[in-house]
Structure 1
Amino acid sequence: MHAEQQRISSIGPESLKGFWALFLVQYQGAFSDNLFKFLVIFSSINSLGVEQDALRDFRLFLIVAVFALPFIFFSMAAGCLADRYSKGRVITWTKRLEIGIMILGVFALKSGEFNYMLGVILLMSIQSAIFSPAKYASLPELLPNEKLSWGNGVIGLGTFGGIIAGGTVAGLLSSWFKEDVWQCGGILVILAVAGTIVSRWITRHPAASPGKRIKINFIGDLIHNLKEAGKSRVLGLAIVGSIYFWLIAALYEPTLVVFGKDLELTDFQISLMRACLAIGISIGSVSAGYLSQNKVEYGLIPLGSLGLAICSIVLGFFDLSFVQISFLLVCLGISGGFFNVPVSALIQKLPARKDKGSVIAANGWLTALAMGLAALIFYLFKVQLGIDAKAMFWVIGLTTIAGTIYAVWLVPDSLARFVLWALTNTLYRVKVLGRNNLPERGGALLASNHISLADALFVIASTGRRIRFIMHRDQFNRWWVKPIAKMLRVIPIASDFGPKELLKSLKKASDCLKDGELVCIFAEGQISRIGGQTLAFQKGMELIMRKQDAPIIPVHLDNVWGSIFSFHQKKVYWKVPRQIPYPVTVSYGKPMPTDSSHTEVRREVVALGADAWAQRKGRISTIGRAFVRTARRARTRMAFADSSGKKLSYMRALMGSIILTKRLRKEWDGQQKVGILIPPSVGGALTNLAGILMGKTVVNLNYTLSEEGIRSCVEQCDIKCVISSEKVIRKLKIDPGVPMLALEDIAKDPSLIEKISAALLAYLCPRGILLNKLSEGNPASLDDIATIIFSSGSTGEPKGAMLSHYNIVSNMMQLNQAYDFNRDDRFLGVLPFFHSLGFTATLIGPAVIGVGAAYHPLPTDTRSISKLIPHYKLTLLLATPTFLQLYLRGIKPEQMQTINLVVVGAEKLPQRLAVAFEEKFGLQPLEAYGCTECS
């Protein structure tokens, strides 16, 4: 572990610079190799007559075989070199060697002798065989583990980009220069010199194993390395996958040339076909690196394998045009990239650091053997048996299908990971925090909260390591879960097991930890049904960790509540997702000691949840933006009503707010903070929303304050006028020190043009443009102040709490998650808008989450309130204990039948009042805690 930490600490900006130098060197090498090789192929084939097809195929066989032989004989020694010496230094040595080889290549091309050119290909292949292990073993030194898939994708892009360019340029030069193609040889020498210079920029790291001996007889080392690799089934199968990939790649190369000649294509068209294949591999490599999302995602391997098989079979069975063939080759290449990138990343990641070079070299040796075997297969099929290219394609396809089935049978979780990868890249979008807290090797117990049936999916998607889950037996036995659970080697457990069976299951989990595996337990023992709240953790995890030397990793799943498989809306399966893809955050905490108690672990998980909430900020809208979205989704649903008989749907509320913004623009011109003195009502709600849509800070003045208190609030906010209502102005008879304007005068008699304009804006105008227009180019941001809530002034002058859009909207989202509101819920709005609970829940709640509200200006008027509740079928009552006492006396139980949630705040709830209220109405009031500044 110390060596691993040392490696990670050495990776910095200089290493990333070295990685890009390696990319350029790799690109140049692939370009030069393919340019020379295909110049030789076209030169040697074009010099033959039509009747010499057998000799043509034999020469192709020789070129493929000779290119593969050095990898067989030199790969193991090259791997030892990569471990014994600095890999960057080994790369520079090989590039210097390339300069001399390319000079010889120029003379060989000029001579036109096939044997001379073949000899240079042999030397070129020796140089590549020495270069290859150092190149791939450098990646873990230049990149952190989470970037290995990305790095392999980029290196794959360089490799096959070089192949594309080299093969295509060779076809062009062969068509242009014909027998004088040797004149282009100087390009190869110049490129070799450039590659040597760039190789010096590759970051030099110390040798991984300076004492390693280089043996001439490498068979013993090869067997040892393969035995070590075979201890990990995944690593062993990754090596087999790499061998097979390069076998079919080597088989495709001469087969495509013959296929093109059979179709009577030109050298340039054949080069284009190869280019299409290489372009596809480049796209697939980069895409696989991106889709792996900072981990090694071996769930992509079955997808790539299936694509290789289908494309090969279609090529073999159907007569296709040149364009169709080219498109199919691109698809084939993309599949190859999906297959090869995770395979290569696994081979680089899984071996111990001191053995990386040797294991990679062993893989290179076997790969070279496979490439040599490909040459032999081509020779036998084409030259000896006379099988045409199309038949070879479908043989490759059928063989790939058989190999895929066998590999999935050996490592079934690769198929499960593919299914889960597909889900997490379509229905879900998983973000991972603290991934570095997961150990790269060794056992650890992952202790997670449990919010939905899909939680295991999110944990799997967050890491490339294999995980053994502990699952309740009832879930394990579901018909659609059991096949995937078996693939993932889930450990079933249940509280109703007998003591022996229970201990046996726990011991199995404990043994997995000792074997160095990751084990995940959803420590609550059940799925949360209360707004995604984290329940108490069970003690089973403590039994698993007895006599262990592995850490506990706290895990938190955030924003899962509300997804398809959570208990949101009290149903698990049949829900329409809020959005697709649905964002989920997986957070990993720092490793905890083995003897940590279940309560300590829960505390850390909850803390991770608090940190994860802050990550939602980028997905949260301002109040105005959220109101427009809600109004368009719930157009005809009731938004606001009041005891005067006014009732507005969401779309009518949005249109009314838009009209008010235009009417109030003159009155509020030059003011950022605007004063409102209107009791809870439809008019008060629309005035507040109009101010918010205009980007203003709305200040609802406390009409229970003295005139001096109100004036203090006005002066502190530099308010120039106060919007009120005629009734309030007549009743209060106060002078706030600024003009008081009646809303009835401002909002009366909107014209037909105003209504049509508001309707067009409400229905058709994009949200961003609408908010920009209503705010005159200055729309509010999340951190802008949405409102100022003043205290009652009991300890002096009233003090204002400045609340941002983020404060209020996130608060409302938290309330929504905790109480699980639905579209049929409606608030009783009796708390004034100058109260933080009244403003947040009964005004902003409807605007943000689509829960309607019915208002009454007098919270003590039990007679009117008792009629309002059944009339609008209100379900949510927010009040103070003082008001609750009045409702206990003045409202009958049958008038409260629709209410299903009662929340009180601002005062302490007496126990006797809570008991009396529950006895009469069958509802237990919930006491809310908080303060205005934290709203």
Structure 2
Amino acid sequence: MSQASQFSLLGKRRFLPFFITQSLGAFNDNLFKQSLILAILYKLAIDGDRSIWINLCALLFILPFFLFSALAGQFGEKYPKDALIRLIKLAEIGIMAIGAIGFLSNHLALMLLALFAMGTHSALFGPVKYSILPQALHEQELVGGNGLVEMGTFLAILAGTIGAGVMMSSTHYAPVVACAVVLVAALGYLSSQWIPRASAASPQMKLEWNIFTQSWATLRLGLGQTPAVSRSIVGNSWFWFVGAIYLTQIPAYAKDWLHGDETVVTLVLTLFSVGIALGSLLCERLSGHKVEIGLVPFGSFGLTLFGLLWWWHSGDVPPAATPHDWLALLGMSEAWWVLLAIVGLGVFGGFYIVPLYALIQSRTPEQERSRVIAANNILNALFMVVSAIVTIVLLTLVELTIPQLFLVVSLLNIGVNAYIFRIVPEFTMRFMIWLLSHSMYRVEHRDLQQIPEEGAALLVCNHVSFVDALLIGGAVRRPIRFVMYYKIYQLPVLNFVFRTAGAIPIAGRNEDPETYERAFKQIAAYLADGELVCIFPEGKLTTDGEIDEFKGGLSRIIEQTPVPVIPLALQGLWGSFFSRDPAKGFFRRLWSRVTLVAGSAIPVEAAQPALLRERVSQLRGNLR
């Protein structure tokens, strides 16, 4: 079934007003913060070390995420999210009015107060921002919607940073910045008026106003979710740890290692932001419109690879009598590897972060979603603070260079994600399935909406190759418990995937009676729990490409646990490397087109082996 592009969401009222509102908010955050930093550095009369004030700005902006995220998570569940967004955006106008007065009067204290208030605004907006998406979007739109949000956020951050530089270069910078921040806040409030109603998840919730006890309780709630969700939160925060280190060092790196001027800083920031935007958008296509956490190991691999590439080629750009501008740098072949590494980091960062956000949203109970995202925000802030401390220690006490810092971060990325993937092997399993279906085969799907979104069902399919289960598991959104011949279940490498997926090994009744009986007990237990179970009723791989007789074990399953039966058919696998075709070869039919077709459900009373074989044969047609 064809799926609409994620860009079609930009034409829908349930997404576009929210997208504009959150993008304007991210733009205004960075426009004001960067303008304040530049004012401290170049415009205001300040005695003493200006770097202290710059660090204070960073602290004032991030502190509210520690203080108010837990409260924001409660608000996001007790009150309608659309009303909360409008209230937060109305407050932004007042905050920016205070900041504007600060700029017009050169009053640093007012500017810092507005900066702290904008941090509070962002802390309150974050849980609502991510918890509203599952309410506004269909399941198949969640990855695409998250990709657009991440794209909009990073491009807005970039635009705000560049816009601040342009405005602050003006002689009359104060009125320009003052008018801009108030205008953008007003536009954000106006766009929020068109956000459709998003009802409260837990209107009966009693608010806990003690921010310290509630912050601890919120963190425990987030990290106490299922391992997939809790480790996704850790992985998400690790991304911000890594990103904060790279983004913080870009100005100094551009000056000392690329020997560039201010335009080179802008070029590097642009490439990094565009890379993340591109990676975020590609997630939808690579994931097949579903939450595909198999992209997370792929993204982690890219973060390490391009981080190492950045370190390796640092120092290639020769110094000059005067700093290079961005055009001169682009004309130097020595800089291309560094610039490629920066874009690659951004792209694979998008592959890493978007599925994690989508998983947290889709697998968290609705009545806890805002608080879980609040826990994620608290942990993000903590990781960013730790990243600043680690950076100071490594650069000043250990006396590493900036490229050596990038090397350490890249190696740490291997260790952190190895821990996450070991605790939650589903990430690795899904990556292997995703890699198979995007390397050796081009997998297409037809009529998979016949498979129910919830509730038990028995899937029956023809058995063509050793990787049938992987291809079906990668195509269907819901987890599937596969029943397979125990010798295939025990195959090296694939056994890890099958065990992680909860596959059920089965043997012939005369071959291993104990395994045979245990398999039927497991099947009945899974179906009783409302899960999907898939069997290959032929009992063995086809040796000639044709569909063999369906065995009687199928009837025993539905007699024990009567559930709807969904026929499936795989087309195009015969002759591939993993089939038993005598003429197969590794390169024969490499990247061949494989299709998984689903038929309509068959009632239990009609689900006889002969009829099911006939339905599967009809679905497969003449394409073996």
Superposition TM-score, scaled by structure 2 size: 0.85
- The alignment partner of 2:35 has SS state of helix
2:343 is equivalent to residue 330 of structure 1: yes
Q: Is the 8 A contact 1:431 1:583 kept in 2?
A: yes
Q: Which has the larger radius of gyration?
A: 1
Cα-Cα RMSD? 3.3
Q: Distance in 2 between matches of 1:337 and 1:545?
A: 47
Q: Is the 8 A contact 1:57 1:382 kept in 2?
A: no
Pick closer, same or farther for the CA change 1:436–1:74 going to 2, 3 Å.
Answer: farther
Pick closer, same or farther for the CA change 1:239–1:444 going to 2, 3 Å.
Answer: farther
Aligned to 1:456: 469
Pick closer, same or farther for the CA change 1:181–1:397 going to 2, 3 Å.
Answer: farther
Deviation for aligned residue 1:259: 2.5
Pick closer, same or farther for the CA change 1:517–1:247 going to 2, 3 Å.
Answer: farther
Letter in 2 for 1:132: G
Deviation for aligned residue 1:413: 3.4
Deviation for aligned residue 1:404: 1.9
Letter in 1 for 2:73: G
Q: Deviations over 1:506-556 (max 9, x none)?
A: 3334444556654432232122345443631441573487368xx445241
Range with bigger deviation, 328-337 or 224-233:
224-233
Aligned to 1:127: 121
Q: Deviations over 1:881-933 (max 9, x none)?
A: xxxxxxxxxxxxxxxxxxxxxxxxxxxxxxxxxxxxxxxxxxxxxxxxxxxxx
Q: Is the 8 A contact 2:464 2:574 kept in 1?
A: no
Which of 57, 66, 69 is the matching residue for 1:63?
A: 57
Pick closer, same or farther for the CA change 1:60–1:338 going to 2, 3 Å.
Answer: farther
2:228 is equivalent to residue 252 of structure 1: no
Aligned to 1:291: 286
Where does 1:756-835 land on structure 2 (aligned, <5 Å)? 814=622, 817=623
2:575 is equivalent to residue 580 of structure 1: no
Pick closer, same or farther for the CA change 1:111–1:30 going to 2, 3 Å.
Answer: same
More helix by share: 2
Letter in 1 for 2:354: V
Q: Deviations over 1:675-721 (max 9, x none)?
A: xxxxxxxxxxxxxxxxxxxxxxxxxxxxxxxxxxxxxxxxxxxxxxx
Deviation for aligned residue 1:160: 1.2
Q: Distance in 1 between matches of 2:339 and 2:398?
A: 27
Superposition TM-score, scaled by structure 1 size: 0.59
Structure 2 residue runs of 5 or longer lacking an equivalent are 1-7, 318-328, 330-334
- The alignment partner of 1:177 has SS state of coil
Aligned to 2:300: 305
2:142 is equivalent to residue 148 of structure 1: yes
Q: Is the 8 A contact 2:577 2:585 kept in 1?
A: yes
Q: Is the 8 A contact 2:218 2:371 kept in 1?
A: no
Which of 196, 210, 220 is the matching residue for 2:203?
A: 210
Q: Is the 8 A contact 2:461 2:616 kept in 1?
A: no
Deviation for aligned residue 1:295: 0.7
Pick closer, same or farther for the CA change 1:435–1:26 going to 2, 3 Å.
Answer: farther
Q: Distance in 2 between matches of 1:117 and 1:384?
A: 33
Deviation for aligned residue 1:118: 3.0
Deviation for aligned residue 1:569: 5.1
2:36 is equivalent to residue 25 of structure 1: no
- The alignment partner of 2:569 has SS state of strand
Pick closer, same or farther for the CA change 1:64–1:560 going to 2, 3 Å.
Answer: farther
2:12 is equivalent to residue 16 of structure 1: yes
Pick closer, same or farther for the CA change 1:472–1:48 going to 2, 3 Å.
Answer: farther
Deviation for aligned residue 1:244: 1.0
2:496 is equivalent to residue 501 of structure 1: no
Pick closer, same or farther for the CA change 1:283–1:180 going to 2, 3 Å.
Answer: same
Which structure has more RCO (C-alpha within 8 Å, separation ≥ 6)? 2
Q: Is the 8 A contact 2:543 2:581 kept in 1?
A: no
Q: Distance in 2 between matches of 1:477 and 1:246?
A: 39
Which of 263, 269, 283 is the matching residue for 2:264?
A: 269
Aligned to 1:472: 485
Q: Distance in 1 between matches of 2:511 and 2:210?
A: 57
Q: Distance in 1 between matches of 2:290 and 2:373?
A: 19
Q: Distance in 2 between matches of 1:56 and 1:310?
A: 36
Q: Is the 8 A contact 1:449 1:555 kept in 2?
A: no
Q: Distance in 2 between matches of 1:224 and 1:81?
A: 13
Q: Is the 8 A contact 2:541 2:580 kept in 1?
A: no
Letter in 1 for 2:596: T
Q: Is the 8 A contact 2:542 2:580 kept in 1?
A: no
Letter in 2 for 1:463: V
Q: Distance in 1 between matches of 2:584 and 2:520?
A: 28
- The alignment partner of 2:491 has SS state of coil
Q: Is the 8 A contact 1:16 1:142 kept in 2?
A: no
Pick closer, same or farther for the CA change 1:477–1:165 going to 2, 3 Å.
Answer: same
Aligned to 2:431: 418
- The alignment partner of 1:313 has SS state of helix
Q: Is the 8 A contact 1:226 1:359 kept in 2?
A: no
Aligned to 1:557: 569
Range with bigger deviation, 445-454 or 218-227:
218-227
Q: Is the 8 A contact 1:109 1:182 kept in 2?
A: yes
Aligned to 2:326: none
Q: Distance in 2 between matches of 1:288 and 1:155?
A: 12
- The alignment partner of 1:296 has SS state of coil
Q: Distance in 2 between matches of 1:424 and 1:505?
A: 28
Letter in 2 for 1:201: W
2:175 is equivalent to residue 187 of structure 1: no
Q: Is the 8 A contact 1:247 1:371 kept in 2?
A: yes
Pick closer, same or farther for the CA change 1:29–1:134 going to 2, 3 Å.
Answer: same
Q: Distance in 2 between matches of 1:251 and 1:436?
A: 44
Aligned to 2:322: none
Letter in 2 for 1:478: L
Letter in 1 for 2:261: T
Pick closer, same or farther for the CA change 1:361–1:447 going to 2, 3 Å.
Answer: farther
Pick closer, same or farther for the CA change 1:402–1:420 going to 2, 3 Å.
Answer: same
Where does 1:594-633 land on structure 2 (aligned, <5 Å)? 599=608, 603=611, 606-607=614-615, 610=618
Deviation for aligned residue 1:150: 1.0
Deviation for aligned residue 1:397: 0.8
- The alignment partner of 1:205 has SS state of coil
2:271 is equivalent to residue 279 of structure 1: no
Q: Distance in 2 between matches of 1:160 and 1:13?
A: 18
Q: Distance in 2 between matches of 1:387 and 1:76?
A: 37
Pick closer, same or farther for the CA change 1:272–1:119 going to 2, 3 Å.
Answer: farther
Deviation for aligned residue 1:301: 0.3
Deviation for aligned residue 1:374: 2.8
Letter in 1 for 2:288: Q
Pick closer, same or farther for the CA change 1:48–1:18 going to 2, 3 Å.
Answer: same
Deviation for aligned residue 1:567: 5.0
Which of 346, 351, 361 is the matching residue for 2:374?
A: 361
Aligned to 1:351: 364
Where does 1:212-251 land on structure 2 (aligned, <5 Å)? 212-217=205-210, 219=213, 223=217, 226-227=220-221, 230-251=224-245
Letter in 2 for 1:521: I
Letter in 2 for 1:62: L
Q: Distance in 2 between matches of 1:389 and 1:545?
A: 66
Pick closer, same or farther for the CA change 1:278–1:575 going to 2, 3 Å.
Answer: closer
How many equivalent pairs are there? 595
Identity %: 29
Q: Distance in 2 between matches of 1:144 and 1:277?
A: 30
Q: Is the 8 A contact 2:35 2:177 kept in 1?
A: no
Structure 1 residue runs of 5 or longer lacking an equivalent are 1-11, 614-813, 819-935
Pick closer, same or farther for the CA change 1:505–1:195 going to 2, 3 Å.
Answer: same
Q: Distance in 2 between matches of 1:170 and 1:238?
A: 34
Letter in 1 for 2:462: N
Deviation for aligned residue 1:169: 2.1
Where does 1:407-806 land on structure 2 (aligned, <5 Å)? 407-440=420-453, 444-479=457-492, 481-495=494-508, 496-513=510-527, 518-533=532-547, 535-539=549-553, 542-543=556-557, 546=560, 551-552=563-564, 554-565=566-577, 567=579, 570-571=582-583, 573-574=585-586, 576-577=588-589, 580-587=591-598, 589-590=600-601, 599=608, 603=611, 606-607=614-615, 610=618
Range with bigger deviation, 17-26 or 508-517:
508-517
Range with bigger deviation, 98-107 or 277-286:
98-107
Aligned to 1:197: 190
